[in-house]
A and B are shown apart, each in its own frame.
Chain A
Amino acid sequence: MSQTQMQTTSMAATAAAPTLEVRDLQTHFFTRAGVVKAVDGVSFTVGRGKVLGLVGESGSGKTVTGFSILGLVDAPGRIVGGDILFHGQNLAKLKEEEMRQLRGNRIAMIFQDPMMTLNPVLRVDTQMIETVLAHTKVSKEEARQRARDTLGMVGIPSPDERLKSYPHQFSGGMRQRVAIAIALLHRPELIVADEPTTALDVTIQAQILAEVQKLCAETGTAMIWITHDLSVVAGLADDIAVMYAGRVVERGAVSEVLDQPLHPYTHGLIGSVPSRNKRGEKLRQIPGMTPSLLSLPPGCAFRTRCPRAQEDCARDPALSELMPGRLARCFHPHLAAQGSAVRGAAAEGNPA
């Protein structure tokens, strides 16, 4: 089995492989109350210089997916199945020491709260130089140089002076830029960004998004952008994966998924976002609330809230390609054949 795996990975590597391929990832938490399947069969790929938007509501498992890629899942959580192929190398099977070589070097993470990344009692230069020296053999002076250049790259004015500051002397937006700069120090091939702009103001968020866009285009870094905000993903990402209750329920190119969602959950989520052309109208809300991962109904996890649910939804739908390049995990998707899926759906779903 390991041989076939090796073969497939080497084959994938030759054919201009994606930077990251996650296959059927399962991360479970073994708590006293039972097994929480926080991530239960998640698959996606991210190519060089591409941005994947990983979207979901709280508790959908999007953050745990990010943590699993970096090998940051702590007990009682554990990756129990699936592969995380980073340039063909399976991260799920790496030893901690090997993972440490990659983490912060070729794979980096940006967290929602920059105070989580930054040590409040160390100056920014100390923290950045430490990061540089952890993975490369350069002199301290060269490391400082690199730290300064990277700060400049993320748009921090007068980086020389700012290097000597402590994290609390920065504003929220600037602090997030420092965190991004630290993630960029080694020009990683993959960045996992977990809600990095959620806590920021609109104008500051736009500045950060602008920097991120520029960096991905210039350096070819692949990015996984974890967020609950569909609007940010719409403007930033190339591909989108929508998660619900630990599973990817829909995947595809951003414009296609947002224009014509296949899965009823994606459909409902888009309908929930207030937007220009729906002013004053009732929002198409999803009834009920996210189920507890401890007591998921068998079959499709969304069926209790789904307007299109039928008897066969009690079976487990597989993530299947319903249209070219479009995957969804649903027996009754909104297909174009049924005539202008997006508008017809509300009328169609209600009487059921």
Chain B
Amino acid sequence: MSATSTVRSAASVAAGEAAAPIIELKGVSKRFSKKLDFAGKIAQKLGAPVKDETVHAVDGVDLVVRKGEVVGLVGESGCGKSTLGRMVAGIMPASAGEIFWHGKKLDTLTGAEARNAKLQTQMIFQDPYASLNPRMRVADIVGEAPLVHGLTRRGEWDAYVDNQMRRAGLDPAFKRRYPHQFSGGQRQRIGIARALAVQPEFIVCDEAVAALDVSIQAQILNLFMELRQELNLTYLFISHDLGVVEHLSDRVVIMYLGRVVEEAPAEEIFARANHPYTQALLAEVPRIEARKKSFAGIKGEIPSPLNPPSGCHFHPRCPHAFARCKLERPALREIAPGHKSACHLNDAA
């Protein structure tokens, strides 16, 4: 039954609009600014050209995640993918824009609704060493939240925790241990068990397999896919690893310097990438099938988000850039059903 539901969800993703969105972002931005210190303020008073430094970590992003789908969010370091993930998970407020949870605006939810929304969205972090409290036993790490939120009672607590651990592939016999007594892969399983213990419908995975060895990474990826089938979960899977994203995702969103540059179903984006950045990224991903290839490399560095280039953020490195790219920010526009891209070249054609 779970298998058919995944098939159905995959089909509905292909159809486009069928499933209801769990979360919807409209023009969401996140800015971090560093206020001037005392000396800076004096310098400013005296007419020195100093200002507050502002990083546009996320800059006007629209994103929809529908029930049952796996959305892969890809980008290089500093592109704002983790910040976006944190805003989606409700850990961080947005500076601008609106986030809708099941069609309701997130910041207008009443207390009980807001708590439910938070509980239904859980996050799995990159570093399984830093994201677990080293002074708590595994049973408490996994079992604290469900007890607090009334998902289980004291009497049933032990069995509940055992169940959660078993589901994440951990032996419940280890529940009295501390995180440092586990290997990296097992710790990541603890993080997964903790996230699933409050019975969420939506999971944000922030580079959840990046720190693991290849063989362990495969185990965790398989676990993610099994859990998705079993519990009908929805994932936002954040990663810099295109191979992992391609393997897991129904839909892929590519970010560059705080903006979404392309968004399409996974097959579509890997077969017909439209944005020059996506094309470059795909061309340069080392693949096990490619032998003795000659690496070319797009020129230049990723610019600092403190001082991003004008117009299209990618234009200084883009092989097809023309005058308009420097001046005008390209809009994310649909170029094929379900396939959006933010590039001026699409208008010219």
Q: CB of B33 within 8 A of chain A?
A: no
Extra contacts, 20 of them, besides A270-B288, A273-B243 (Cβ < 8 A), are A201-B77, A202-B76, A202-B284, A203-B302, A205-B284, A206-B297, A213-B295, A228-B214, A229-B214, A229-B286, A231-B286, A231-B290, A234-B288, A234-B290, A235-B287, A235-B292, A236-B295, A276-B270, A283-B247, A284-B218
For the complex of A and B, list the 7 residue pairs with the smallest distance between their C-beta atoms, beginning with the closest. A274-B247, A272-B218, A206-B284, A207-B297, A231-B286, A201-B76, A210-B295
- A255 partner residues in chain B, CB cutoff 8 A: 291-292
Is there contact, CB below 8 Å, between A285 and B295? no
Asked if A290 is at the interface of the complex by the 8 Å CB criterion, the answer is yes
In the complex, whether A209 has a CB less than 8 A from a CB of chain B is yes
6 pairs across A/B with beta carbons < 8 Å? A173-B301, A205-B284, A209-B297, A234-B291, A236-B295, A258-B291
Query: In chain B between 258 and 299, which residues have their CB closer than 8 angstroms to a CB of chain A?
Result: 266-267, 270, 280-281, 284-299
Asked whether, in the complex, the Cβ of A174 is within 8 Å of the Cβ of B215, the reply is no
Partner of B215, one of A173, A258, A280, A286: A286
Q: Are A228 and B213 in contact (CB under 8 A)?
A: yes
> A39 to B299, alpha carbons, bound, how many Å?
39
Query: Which of B51-59, B90-98, B219-227, B341-349 makes up part of the contact surface?
Result: B219-227
Kindly name the residue among B215, B240, B243, B248 whose own CB sees the greatest number of chain A CB atoms within 10 A: B215
| CB-defined contacts of B270 to chain A, threshold 8 Å | 276
A346 at the interface (CB under 8 A from B): no
Contact B284 A203, beta carbon cutoff 8 Å: yes
A341 close to chain B: CB less than 8 A:
no
Chain B positions within 8 Å of A234 at CB level: 286-291
Q: How distant is A264 from chain B, measured CB to nearest CB, in Å? A: 12
Query: Which residues of A pack against B, CB within 8 Å?
Result: 57-58, 171, 173-174, 201-207, 209-210, 213, 228-232, 234-236, 238, 254-255, 258, 268-280, 282-287, 289-290
Check A58/B291 contact, CB under 8 A, given A201-B302, A271-B218.
no
Given A202-B284, A203-B76, A275-B287, are A231 and B217 neighbors across the interface (CB < 8 Å)? Answer: no
Q: Which residue of B lies closest to A173 (CB)?
A: B301
Known pairs A203-B284, A229-B286, A279-B266; A286 contacts B291 (CB<8 A): no
Q: Does B185 contact A (CB under 8 A)?
A: yes
Are B288 and A206 in contact (CB-based, < 8 A)?
A: no
Q: How far is the CB of A286 from chain B (nearest CB, A)?
A: 4
B8 to chain A, nearest CB (A): 15
Complex-state Cα separation, A204 to B294, whole angstroms? 14
Give bound CA distance, A202 to B241, whole Å. Answer: 8
Nearest chain A CB to B74 CB, angstrom units: 9
Interface size of B by Cβ–Cβ distance < 8 Å?
45
For the complex, give the distance between the alpha carbons of A137 and B232 in Å. Answer: 70
A57 to B212, CA, bound (A): 9
Chain A, residue nearest B245 (CB): A274
A-contact bits for B199-220, CB 8 A (1 contact / 0 none):
0000000000000011111110
A273 engages B214 (CB within 8 Å): yes
Q: How far is the CB of A99 from chain B (nearest CB, A)?
A: 32
- Beta-carbon nearest neighbor of A237 in chain B: B292
Q: Cβ of B257 < 8 Å from any Cβ of A? A: no
B281 near A202 (CB under 8 angstroms)? Answer: yes
With A203-B280, A283-B247 as known contacts, state yes or no: A272 contacts B217, CB within 8 Å. yes
Name A157's closest neighbour in chain B (CB-CB).
B300
